[in-house]
Amino acid sequence: MPRWGMVIDLDKCTGCRACETACAMENNIPIVSDDQLAMGRGITWMKVLTQVSGEFPHNKVTQVPRPCMQCDNPPCAKVCPVKATYTAEDGIVAQIYPRCIGCRYCANACPYSVKYFNYYEPNWPGDMRRQLNRDVSVRPKGVVEKCTFCHHRLQKAREIARAENRPLAEADFQPACAEICPSKAIIFGDLENQNHRVFELSRGPRASRLLEDLGTEPKVFYLKKEI
Amino acid sequence: MSDRETILAGLPQDEQDLLRPLVQTTGKFWYAAVVLGLICCFGLVSYLRQLRYGLGTTGLNQPEYWGIYIIDFVFFIGISHAGTLISAILRISNAEWRRSITRSAEFITVLVIGFGAVQPIVDLGRPDRALNIILHAQPLSPLLWDVTSIGLYFTACTIYLYLPMIPDLAIIRDRKIKMPRFYRVLALGYDGSPKHKHLLEKIIGVLAVAVIPVAISVHTVIGWIFALTLRPMWHSTIFGPYFVMGAIYSGIAALLIAMAILRKVYRLEDYFKEAHFNNMGILLLLMSCLWAYFTFAEYLTAFYGQEAAEMRTFWDKLSGRFAWPFWIMVISCSVIPFCLMCRKKTRNVRGTTIASGFVVVGMWLERFNIVVPTSVNPRLNLYQPAGYTPSWVELGIMAGTFSGFILLYMIASKFFPMVSIWELREGEESLVKLRHRVSGYLPEALSAAEARTAEAVTSP
Amino acid sequence: MKRREFLLLTGATGIAAVVDPMLGHVTSTGNSAPEVLPGIETFVMTTCLMCPGGCGIKVRRLDGDPTSIAGNPKHPVNAGGVCTEGMSALQMLYHPDRLTRPMKQTGRKGSDEFKPITWDEALDTISESMKKLESRKAPEKCAFVLGRTGGSMADLVYHFMERWGSPNVLLDQPGDGYPQVFQAMHGLKAHPAFDFDNADFVLSFGADLLNAWESPLQFQRSYTSFHSAGRGVRATLAVADVRFSRTAGQASEWVGVAPGSYGALALGIAYVMLRERQYDFSFAEEHLYGFNDEEERSDKGTRLGYRSLVLRDYSPEVVSRLTGVPVETIINLGKSFGESPRALAIFDENVTAQPGGMYAGMAIHSLNLLKGNLNRAGGIYLQPGVPLAPLGPAPARDALAIEDLPSLASNGGLEIAFLYYSNPTYSSAFRSQIRSALERIGMVVSFSPFLDETSRYADFILPDALPLERWEDRPFPPSSPIAGWGVVQPCVRAAGETRHAGDVMLSLAQHLGGRMATGLPWKSFEEILKHRARGLYESRAGSPCGDSFDQELLGEMESRGWWMSSYGSFDDFWQKLTAAGAWADPHFQVKSLYDYIGSPDGRIDLYSRELQKRLGRSGSAVSEIDFLPHYHSEGIPIGVTDLPLMLNIYRPGKLQGGSAGSLPWARLAAIPLDRLAGDPWAEVSPKDSQQYSIGDLDWVWIESASGKIKVRAVISPACAAGVVNLPYGLGSIGRHGKERGVNPLELISPERDPLSGLAYRLGTKVKIYRA
Ligand SMILES: Nc1nc2c(c(=O)[nH]1)N[C@H]1C(S)=C(S)[C@@H](COP(=O)(O)OP(=O)(O)OC[C@H]3O[C@@H](n4cnc5c(=O)[nH]c(N)nc54)[C@H](O)[C@@H]3O)O[C@H]1N2
Ligand SMILES: Nc1nc2c(c(=O)[nH]1)N[C@H]1C(S)=C(S)[C@@H](COP(=O)(O)OP(=O)(O)OC[C@H]3O[C@@H](n4cnc5c(=O)[nH]c(N)nc54)[C@H](O)[C@@H]3O)O[C@H]1N2
Ligand code: SF4
Ligand code: SF4
Ligand code: SF4
Ligand code: SF4
Ligand code: SF4
Ligand SMILES: [Mo]
């Protein structure tokens, strides 16, 4: 049973936020109007958390791309009263939009604040609906959503591999953010598979995870800067 | 003078006093009722708007996911501990002074649970799917435990309100002062015969015991809803007891206010006596100390942990954006009630009512200070802290529910005596019982003299 | 392909069953039904036109609609990456504010009273009035403004105008000043290519290389290879900037400099290199002119050389005073730059687009010259041209700039003007002059797909098809050491009645008939591209982009004079080319050093003979250092000096003036914090915010000698005291930009650099106060 995981190399990441956009493009993230954004209702399954510190010219910047950590021990899933968020096959924490009652308990329970709530019916100005990815459902108002590790891509990759009867290779299943990253800073694969790059990287000396002490066992690893 | 009132005039004094509200209604009542009714309508309109456009109409955002509705939920369910729990405890410890106050208390409970229980539904993004909680129940979720215990609590309380009311309903039925059919049905053919009476008292006794753990479970679980997440200042072991204690505290306060009002508007001065307020005041005093103790314990632990995430929320409360609500809470939950209640002189009707007013406000703020500051301060320090300003929709719904509760309480007082007639009469009997028992311990001489005075007292 | 599609189809449906309960591909209860459409998936390899970067992209189409954009992993420029603006091409494609049919202004210019007309009407009227000009023997009264475009579209325009007989092609392509600097020093107008991949020390002056440089992803790709284990030594990125830009954030050496003082910094670094004798002696002796003091033939004593000038005027102490950079930092920079065998210094328009910018550019480039860092790995190359078949006899190109429009248009000089990819009334410092010029011109024709600031002053708008809808080409950016040709091909049919501006030019030629018809015989722009590609086919060099391995091999063979043709016919070649999306020649023929030098004596000028000629001619009183790189402070600040703060205009997340700024994704990625959404902002330093008692996110006025704008103050540690950082390009057109954006250019007075001709965008002083 594969255990999909992500390694993000902070030494390569330039904070360009292309991964945010790629995710929005791939997963039909609704376009949130300016005033809603200003209210803090933006939806970004992938968010590059950025902090500039220090007085000019002694500045430092921290940039941490943040998808869902896909915890092996997800606090969010435990509290959902209707099992609308739960650990699906391959350890990916899934959302069942049509079942979610929108209590936002999971969103509060997530220590990484990666869950987003649809405050309004999503809308796409003009023809922009035609951009939507038909492999991913559009979420109605009132439900919670989050990064799914592009699970729909896994489904497709599996089908193809099966049809061409061969095992699933690392290249077959890459999420949109990893695919787009101009710096190749996002590496994705099966954490348990020796042949996948994440196997080594996630076990290497530079690897660590966010809020590790909470025991949520995230499947997203960060390689620290080398400078 | 209408025939009802002629009947009323013919009744014994206590029945006259306690049944008068059922037959006489002042203009003030109607005035108040209309105002409250209008506010309710506004609340309703607000909710319809929210239903139509979604929770976008609130002031909530990411990650500030819970606001007014959840605050009110915790607050209301807290208040509900006024009646049942208190009256049950007093019954079991058969504190004689309880007799005149249990009824009004139990009414608060039943009504307020209702209004509390709807809050989470109002808060749902998809109320149309509320049933999924049963259809797809996920046993590990504290939210599910909550639904269960509140459901149980509500049923228990309703029965516990209803049963002790039956003898009074029977009285009303017999006196034919109002809606005979209605009361005949409710009275269940109770005829006050020793057999009936005995049975009734037995059941009440059992219920009183049974209802206490349920009541405690309810607010414990509500505490757990927060405590079982990993969020700073929520993830705390004492939240269960802390919430129960707070609930009882706010309950007592609410009850005191209700008593004071009933006393004034229905002229029940010699049913709600200074003595009652004094005793309740002592309870209030006790609770204010407990509250201070728990709160101090809670914050001290957080502070000594010095965990970065905890401290962000901690300081945001003590000296940051939430300093005002925090310190107002502290003052009105501990300082003021303590100072007023620790002195006999101020433990009177006025004093207790004022203290209770502060406690109720303070306890609402406590719910606010628990829900909001943690929500707006994500655990991961890479986020900017969020903010929260409730929208008029939220405030409208809040106003609506509050006035809805008061309105129903007023209406209830028009159909049911807010003081238990029969239990008061029981009180006389237990007076005699008591005398016999006590005199049994005394030397002959004394008991003889005692008996004589007793004659003097009992003979009309 | 067929098989794969089929699989995907069955896959997709097969999946539906599996996925649905999982991720909710199910009609949910309630009012909103998420759509589940059968997805037949196809891909188009094309080239991004959202910026000059020239990245190769792979567009995914479902049921014929482009739905996502990924990078072309085999493309030498971006190797699979795409930036937010690139992806935003989709939102531009589906933008609600697109113009979908030709329109004619019925009211006076700027009145926004347009009525739709047919293409024939439009072309007839336009060709009629052009013919009138011709009959009056005044073809030059017709001008064409060429905005940010390149490749065959530009060639077509030049060719068209050449044939037509008008020299008036005006460029609206604000450059970075390199061609001017090369003209002054190398004696030839060229834009250098930078071999970042092999450099071990990259020193950037004001170029936000990762964010808004000419080819941001070319650099981001190289930046990754800086770090890759395979590379052995880790390259150093040093950034000198007035703002803590995103590139600065990634730099291992980040140096904050005072606005306009980078020239001094460069010479301070040169000073250290000269002192430490860490420069290429032989190169200096053989190939540099004016390095040492020299005896003038005409006995005027000795002529000051670069070396003496630097050692005289630019000691670290002095430079430190001018730039605010600590002495030791200057010395360390100088040493590490000098020590690194493959050190590369680079600048962009933020250096040159202000008074003295030309000298600053020369100063910075002189660092490369001191290292003799030309024509070798990790250094500066000149990209060999792509062997495309010409459209005809190469037209004479004398560069007029958009800023010349007002003078040209004065007293009836122009009667017809075409605007292509250009929005100067928004993006040029000469906005108001240009606007009134447009008002004076009898017939203004814009190809803009949006009703932008400029097309509102047009009489006809002939909406162009967007990049994802049209045939075009884009040679690799000049900054890329690999020469190549990106193909742009349609992924979806053009919206409404929009038409490819190139096709429109061709049919206009047919309408005009005569020499125009015969000179531009092509039926469509696609034909033009095929015609040009024949040049590649016959060049017996390069190939459609394969994976890096093929490329290696190919280069290897070529260097030994082999060339393996993998295709039989031209059609086969064309098919492979369009499938690959780009053609590249990984093995650029190593030119001799002399190809980098225009001057007869084969020397590169530190002492610019070009400037000597020009200034000599202009007769303006000159001193000898006017021909040498130096720190030129006069002219800064522009206009009045009593204003306390220096204005620095930067690109937040590389936004174009108008087009990208109105696209939700692009704007989102540019906004520093969501709470600001929709409001214009400026960065203010904590110190200044105190001094002028401004709170975070307060509304403030920023006022210069020429105007004032209202923005929200963001108190930012990234901002230097005494500087206001103002974002440029947060959108002008469309629902998503229009109402909100303010234009920083309001604050800038219209002035051009006498040497480079660039319009000033920096060096303006402002004051700031609470609104
Ligand atoms: N995706 C995308 N990419 C683009 C564009 C786009 O629209 N979208 N635009 C393209 C175009 S047309 C161009 S011309 C380029 C422009 O590319 P750039 O000119 O590199 O982009 P800018 O952000 O305008 O400027 C970069 C830096 O110059 C700094 N700077 C300003 N003044 C000074 C100074 O006096 N001294 C020093 N040392 N630094 C200074 C600014 O602080 C800023 O950080 O970007 C290109 N890249
Ligand atoms: N203060 C300040 N001013 C600046 C700059 C700065 O950094 N600071 N940057 C300068 C630089 S370097 C540049 S390049 C300019 C950029 O600024 P602009 O010239 O505004 O560049 P854009 O808005 O990208 O393109 C111009 C017009 O092209 C049109 N257009 C977009 N797509 C298409 C298309 O597919 N076909 C056709 N025919 N037209 C299209 C758009 O409608 C737009 O109005 O701004 C310059 N001005
Ligand atoms: S796309 Fe890559 S480089 Fe850009 S922010 Fe995301 S992870 Fe970092
Ligand atoms: S919001 Fe939806 S997914 Fe989250 S806990 Fe509530 S029901 Fe479960
Ligand atoms: S990161 Fe948050 S949402 Fe994702 S699995 Fe962990 S707890 Fe759940
Ligand atoms: S894995 Fe997929 S869903 Fe998750 S952030 Fe990346 S693109 Fe978005
Ligand atoms: S850098 Fe420029 S060319 Fe490359 S993807 Fe981004 S916008 Fe397109
Ligand atoms: Mo530009």
Q: Quick: pLDDT tens for C725-762.
A: 998 877 554 443 354 568 888 899 999 998 998 999 88
Q: Mean of the per-residue pLDDT values for chain A? A: 95
- Where does the pLDDT of residue C298 fall: very low under 50, low under 70, confident under 90, or very high at 90 and above? low
Reply yes or no on whether the pLDDT at C618 is more than 80.
Answer: no
Query: Residue A181: nearest ligand to its CA?
Result: 3
The pLDDT of C428-433, averaged and rounded, is 92
The pLDDT of C26-33, averaged and rounded, is 30
Q: What is the distance between the alpha carbons of residues C143 and C444, in angstroms, rounded to a whole number?
A: 10
| Interchain contact A56–C (C-beta under 8 A) | yes
Reply yes or no on whether the pLDDT at C2 is more than 50.
Answer: no
pLDDT of res. C731: 55
Residues 6+ apart with CB under 8 A from C361: C177, C178, C180, C181, C347, C351, C352, C756
Q: Given A99, A102, A112, which is nearest B125 (Cβ)?
A: A102
The pLDDT of A45-63, averaged and rounded, is 94
Reply yes or no on whether the pLDDT at C593 is more than 90.
Answer: no
Q: What is the distance between the alpha carbons of residues A180 and C73, in angstroms, rounded to a whole number?
A: 10
Q: Given C23, C224, C720, which is nearest A148 (Cβ)?
A: C23
Question: What would the pLDDT profile of B3-41 be if each residue is shown by its tens digit?
Answer: 778 888 888 888 888 988 888 888 999 999 999 999 999
Reply yes or no on whether the pLDDT at C20 is more than 80.
Answer: no
Å between C501 CA and nearest CA of chain B: 44
pLDDT of res. C550: 66
Contacts of A142 in chain B (CB under 8 A): 54-55, 124-126
Q: Smallest Cα–Cα separation from C669: which of A65, A16, B382, A147?
A: A16
CB < 8 Å from A in window 251-270 of C: 252, 254-256
- Each as own residue / partner, the long-range contacts of residues C247-252 (CB below 8 Å, 24 or more positions apart, any chain) are C247/C204, C247/C207, C247/C208, C247/C209, C247/C210, C247/C211, C248/A59, C249/A14, C249/A15, C249/A52, C249/A59, C249/A60, C249/A61, C249/A63, C250/A14, C250/A15, C250/C210, C250/C223, C251/C204, C252/A227
Residue that is written with structure tokens 């508007």 in the block: B265
Residue of the CA atom closest to atom 46 of ligand 2: C427
Measured from the Cα of A103, ligand 4's closest atom is 6
Residue C276: phi and psi, rounded to 5, are -80, 0
- Is the CB of A109 within 6 Å of ligand 4? no
Q: Smallest Cα–Cα separation from B33: which of B315, B334, B407, B354?
A: B407
Q: Smallest Cα–Cα separation from A102: which of B127, C475, C605, B318?
A: B127
pLDDT of res. C3: 32
Among A17, A114, A147, A156, name the best residue to mutate to test ligand 6's pocket (greatest count of ligand atoms within 8 A of Cβ): A147
Q: To 5 degrees, how large is the angle CA B138–CA B140–CA B144?
A: 60
pLDDT of res. C653: 73
Q: Smallest Cα–Cα separation from B95: which of B420, B427, B347?
A: B427
DSSP state string for B108-145 = HHHHHHHHHHHHHHHH-S-GGGTTHHHHT--TT-HHHH
Tell me, in angstroms, the distance from the centre of ligand 3 to residue C486's CA: 25
Query: Residue A45: nearest ligand to its CA?
Result: 6
- CB environment B252-273: b (16+ within 10 A), e (fewer): bbbbbbbbbbbbeebebeebbe
Question: What would the pLDDT profile of C438-460 be if each residue is shown by its tens digit?
Answer: 999 999 999 999 888 899 999 99
Contacts of C673 in chain B (CB under 8 A): 384
Q: What is the distance between the alpha carbons of residues A135 and A102, in angstroms, rounded to a whole number?
A: 23
- Where does the pLDDT of residue C658 fall: very low under 50, low under 70, confident under 90, or very high at 90 and above? low
Reply yes or no on whether the pLDDT at C297 is more than 90.
Answer: no
- Where does the pLDDT of residue C215 fall: very low under 50, low under 70, confident under 90, or very high at 90 and above? very high
Reply yes or no on whether the pLDDT at C636 is more than 80.
Answer: no
Question: What would the pLDDT profile of A193-204 be if each residue is shown by its tens digit?
Answer: 999 999 999 999
Per the CB < 8 A criterion, the answer to whether B282 and B347 are in contact is yes
Question: What would the pLDDT profile of C497-537 be if each residue is shown by its tens digit?
Answer: 999 999 999 999 999 999 999 999 999 999 999 999 999 99
The pLDDT of A26-43, averaged and rounded, is 93
Q: What is the distance between the alpha carbons of residues C522 and A20, in angstroms, rounded to a whole number?
A: 43
Question: What would the pLDDT profile of A172-188 be if each residue is shown by its tens digit?
Answer: 999 999 999 999 999 99
Contacts of B56 in chain A (CB under 8 A): 36, 41, 119-120, 141
Question: What would the pLDDT profile of C467-479 be if each residue is shown by its tens digit?
Answer: 999 999 999 999 9
Q: What is the distance between the alpha carbons of residues A191 and A176, in angstroms, rounded to a whole number?
A: 18
* Exposure of B21 in the CB half-sphere (CA atoms within 13 A): 23
Reply yes or no on whether the pLDDT at B99 is more than 90.
Answer: no
- Residue B125 to residue A111, Cβ atoms within 8 A: no
Q: Which of the other chains make 3 or more beta carbon contacts under 8 angstroms with chain A?
A: B, C
- Residue B382 to residue A51, Cβ atoms within 8 A: yes
Å between C554 CA and nearest CA of chain A: 25
H/E stretch holding C146? strand C142-146
Task: Quote helix, strand, coil % in chain A, to nearest 5.
Answer: 30, 20, 55
Interface of B with C (CB under 8 A): 126, 128-129, 384
Interface test with A, best of B65, B66, B381 (most A CBs within 10 A): B65
Question: What would the pLDDT profile of C274-293 be if each residue is shown by its tens digit?
Answer: 999 999 999 999 999 999 98
What percent of chain C shows pLDDT beyond 70?
A: 87
Contacts of C675 in chain A (CB under 8 A): 38, 40
Residue B345: phi and psi, rounded to 5, are -60, -40
C552 versus C17: the higher-pLDDT residue is C552
Indicate if the alpha-carbon torsion angle A141, A142, A147, A148 is positive or negative. Answer: negative
**A65 to chain B: nearest residue by CA?**
B382
| Interchain contact C21–B (C-beta under 8 A) | no
Q: What is the distance between the alpha carbons of residues C129 and C120, in angstroms, rounded to a whole number?
A: 14
User: What are the structure tokens assigned to B359, written together?
Assistant: 């406690």
What SS3 class is residue C740? coil
Q: What is the distance between the alpha carbons of residues C171 and C402, in angstroms, rounded to a whole number?
A: 6
Q: Smallest Cα–Cα separation from A181: which of A15, A4, A3?
A: A15
**DSSP tag of C752:** B
C617 exposure class (CB count in 10 Å sphere: 0-12, 13-18, 19+): exposed
- Where does the pLDDT of residue C41 fall: very low under 50, low under 70, confident under 90, or very high at 90 and above? confident
- CB environment C309-319: b (16+ within 10 A), e (fewer): bbeebbbbebb
Residues 6+ apart with CB under 8 A from B303: B311, B314
- Where does the pLDDT of residue C11 fall: very low under 50, low under 70, confident under 90, or very high at 90 and above? very low
Reply yes or no on whether the pLDDT at C616 is more than 90.
Answer: no
H/E stretch holding B424? helix B421-441
Å between A164 CA and nearest CA of chain B: 38
pLDDT of res. C34: 32
Question: What would the pLDDT profile of C397-411 be if each residue is shown by its tens digit?
Answer: 777 999 999 999 998
H/E stretch holding C534? helix C525-539
Reply yes or no on whether the pLDDT at C595 is more than 60.
Answer: yes
pLDDT of res. C5: 34
Å between C29 CA and nearest CA of chain B: 8
Q: What is the distance between the alpha carbons of residues C385 and C480, in angstroms, rounded to a whole number?
A: 12
Q: What is the distance between the alpha carbons of residues C650 and C636, in angstroms, rounded to a whole number?
A: 18
User: What are the structure tokens assigned to C281, written together?
Assistant: 């002696």
Question: Residue C650 forms beta bridges with which residues?
Answer: C727
pLDDT of res. C221: 93
Residue pairs between chains B and C whose CB atoms are closer than 8 Å: 8
Q: Smallest Cα–Cα separation from B384: which of C6, C771, C347, C673?
A: C673
| Interchain contact A64–C (C-beta under 8 A) | no
| Interchain contact A116–B (C-beta under 8 A) | yes
- Where does the pLDDT of residue C230 fall: very low under 50, low under 70, confident under 90, or very high at 90 and above? low
The pLDDT of B114-139, averaged and rounded, is 95
Q: Helices (DSSP H) in C276-348: which residue ranges?
A: 281-287, 306-313, 316-323, 327-339
The pLDDT of B45-58, averaged and rounded, is 96
Tell me, in angstroms, the distance from the centre of ligand 8 to residue C666's CA: 17
Tell me, in angstroms, the distance from the centre of ligand 7 to residue C50's CA: 6
Q: Smallest Cα–Cα separation from C465: which of C441, C443, C495, C433?
A: C495
Q: Mean of the per-residue pLDDT values for chain C? A: 87
Residue of the CA atom closest to atom 6 of ligand 5: A71
Contacts of B235 in chain A (CB under 8 A): none
Per the CB < 8 A criterion, the answer to whether C362 and C626 are in contact is no
Residues 6+ apart with CB under 8 A from C687: C721
C689 exposure class (CB count in 10 Å sphere: 0-12, 13-18, 19+): buried
Tell me, in angstroms, the distance from the centre of ligand 5 to residue A72's CA: 9
Cis peptide before C73 (omega within 30 of 0): no
- Residue A128 to residue C66, Cβ atoms within 8 A: no
CB atoms within 10 A of CB B64: 26
Q: Which of the other chains make 3 or more beta carbon contacts under 8 angstroms with chain C?
A: A, B
The pLDDT of B434-457, averaged and rounded, is 72
Q: Mean of the per-residue pLDDT values for chain B? A: 91
Reply yes or no on whether the pLDDT at B422 is more than 80.
Answer: yes
H/E stretch holding B148? helix B142-162
User: What are the structure tokens assigned to C479, written together?
Assistant: 């900054």
Contacts of B129 in chain C (CB under 8 A): 29-30
Contacts of B384 in chain C (CB under 8 A): 673, 675
Å between A80 CA and nearest CA of chain C: 15
Question: What would the pLDDT profile of C349-365 be if each residue is shown by its tens digit?
Answer: 889 999 999 999 999 99
**A32 to chain C: nearest residue by CA?**
C664
Per the CB < 8 A criterion, the answer to whether C462 and C446 are in contact is yes
Q: Given C30, C673, C675, which is nearest B128 (Cβ)?
A: C30
pLDDT of res. B200: 92
pLDDT of res. C638: 67
The residue type at A9: D
Question: What would the pLDDT profile of C550-587 be if each residue is shown by its tens digit?
Answer: 666 666 666 666 666 677 899 999 999 999 999 998 77
Residues 6+ apart with CB under 8 A from B185: none
- Is the CB of A220 within 6 Å of ligand 3? no
Q: Given A81, A113, A121, which is nearest B143 (Cβ)?
A: A81
Per the CB < 8 A criterion, the answer to whether C243 and C204 are in contact is no
Q: What is the distance between the alpha carbons of residues C577 and C765, in angstroms, rounded to a whole number?
A: 51
pLDDT of res. C623: 81
Q: Given C250, C256, C718, which is nearest A14 (Cβ)?
A: C250
User: What are the structure tokens assigned to C309, written together?
Assistant: 């000038």
Question: What would the pLDDT profile of B64-89 be if each residue is shown by its tens digit?
Answer: 999 999 999 999 999 998 778 788 88
- Is the CB of A181 within 6 Å of ligand 3? yes
pLDDT of res. C226: 82
pLDDT of res. C36: 35
Q: Given B60, B125, B380, which is nearest A101 (Cβ)?
A: B125
